[in-house]
Chains A and B, each alone.
Chain A
Amino acid sequence: MTGSIAAIGAGLAVIGAGIGIGQIGGHAMDAIARQPEATSKIQTAMIIAAALVEGVALFGVVVALMSK
């Protein structure tokens, strides 16, 4: 088995990002389905939240890269 523990750590961090952004997207879809006229506001808030969650996941990836 090749690779390092750092790569496994990075993969786990990305799982967190995937779950988080998936939840954000899913709830945004529900909200848009309930109230289509608020689509643009919901979309903006969704993109912002997704960027913040992705930032946190990338902290983990950067730590994994640095430790290698």
Chain B
Amino acid sequence: MTSKINTYKRFTSIFILIFSLFIGVSNNLSASEPQEDTIEHGHSAETAVAAHDAHGQDAHEANGPIDISAIAIEHVSDSHSWHFWGEGHDAVAAPLPVILKGNNGIVFFMSSEFHHDNEGKTIVEKNRERFVMFEEKVYYANETPNEYGQYVTLTAKDKEVSVSNAAPLDFSITKNVTQMFISVIVIMWIFMSIAKAYKTQGVTSAPRGKQSFFEPLILFVRDDIAKGNIGHGYEKFVPYLLTVFFMILINNVFGMIPIGANLTGNIAFTLVLSVATMIVTNINGNKNYWSHIFLPHAPKAIWPILIPIEVVGILTKPFALMMRLFANMTAGHIIIISLVGLIFVFKTIYIAPVSVAFALFIDVLECLVAFLQAYVFTMLTALFIGSAVADHNEDGAHSTDDDHATAGH
């Protein structure tokens, strides 16, 4: 028991050490913000560019009406530094590594070299190349700045500003990547200690500690989701299903706490999960599965319609998985940020009870949604795998076949 407390203390102290190192380094490295000029323009295109120039200030300062949608989008998006609290100059943010593959090779630097600049005004020169960051994306800097001091070429169209600079390949360790590493470490810690507990105590004694919380979930995934949907031969797929389930669940929970990053609301992450499901399903597809797609059991007259539908269905099923998870998580986070942001929109503390009550209700709903989305993703994955490995006899559509000579089907 004391050894468990010691490892827990050691883990916590290492975590606090790394955390404080980040904050200390960031406070030393962040210099003062570049001075912003407020420029008045009559032309709409230029006001759009000017609005984007002062975009960072507008969203954060109380000069005019506060832009809650910009703040919400900023909170659910990825970024090159992990912002904890504070605004502008006093912001406490941990810088994260920026790894770019430019024309002259790979460069590596910390995002604090941009000095919190998101408008393309600060140039970082590495490896004889000049980089500039605009809206959390890194581009090659122009030779001369434009009228606002920005080194990017902006074109405004209907309040949307697009950048026409070239960009290097970006392999940075951004906030979402760091969040992924953190949740991988958390998941590995949980499951390796549970596995060790099973090894040392056996499966017949009562579970203790983390085991007692996670065992019902693990058995639920194995028995209800895997065995229920895959049937015979389900053991092979239980590791993948457990991985998917807990990866989504832990990342959903991390996304809900204020200091976490929104990883499951990042469409690239859900894309990778659904591509993994697609690969697992199609690699394990047996003759039945492929014959249902390319030689469906239907009158031959509608085959020209049915076969393309089935073939596209191979892609749309994982696509639906990806969109469902991404949209649910992002929408939930935006709702919570908007509800709390009501306090800042109305600029009075008296709206706080209403706002917090609503946000609490939505938070509870989000806890349910976090678990539910993990469950639905895993269950649909198991269903697709089940349809890929299904035996000939289990399919009801074959009931009129000649092979079934005996009764009972």
Contacts and interface: CB of A to CB of B under 8 A. Distances in A.
A51 B376 contact: yes
B323 A51 contact: no
Interface residues of A, number: 10
Interface in B300-359: 320, 323-324, 326-328, 330-331
A58 B372 contact: no
B323 A62 contact: yes
Nearest to B224: A44
Contact of B379 (A48, A54, A62): A48
A42 to B, nearest CB: 15
B327 A59 contact: yes
Nearest to B380: A52
Interface in B171-218: none
Interface residues of B, number: 13
A22 interface: no
A55 B326 contact: no
Main secondary structure of the interface of A (DSSP, over half): helix
B372 A51 contact: yes
A62 B376 CA distance: 19
B242 to A, nearest CB: 19
A51 B320 CA distance: 12
A62 B326 contact: yes
Contacts of B330: 62
A47 interface: yes
B372 A47 contact: yes
B324 A55 contact: yes
A60 to B, nearest CB: 9
B373 interface: yes
B376 A52 contact: yes
A2 to B, nearest CB: 12
B379 A58 contact: no
Interface string A36-59: 000000000001100110110011
Given A48-B379, A54-B324, 18 more contacts: A47-B372, A51-B375, A52-B376, A54-B328, A55-B320, A55-B324, A58-B323, A58-B324, A58-B327, A58-B328, A58-B331, A59-B320, A59-B324, A59-B327, A61-B331, A62-B323, A62-B327, A62-B330
Interface of B: 320, 323-324, 326-328, 330-331, 372-373, 375-376, 379
Interface of A: 47-48, 51-52, 54-55, 58-59, 61-62
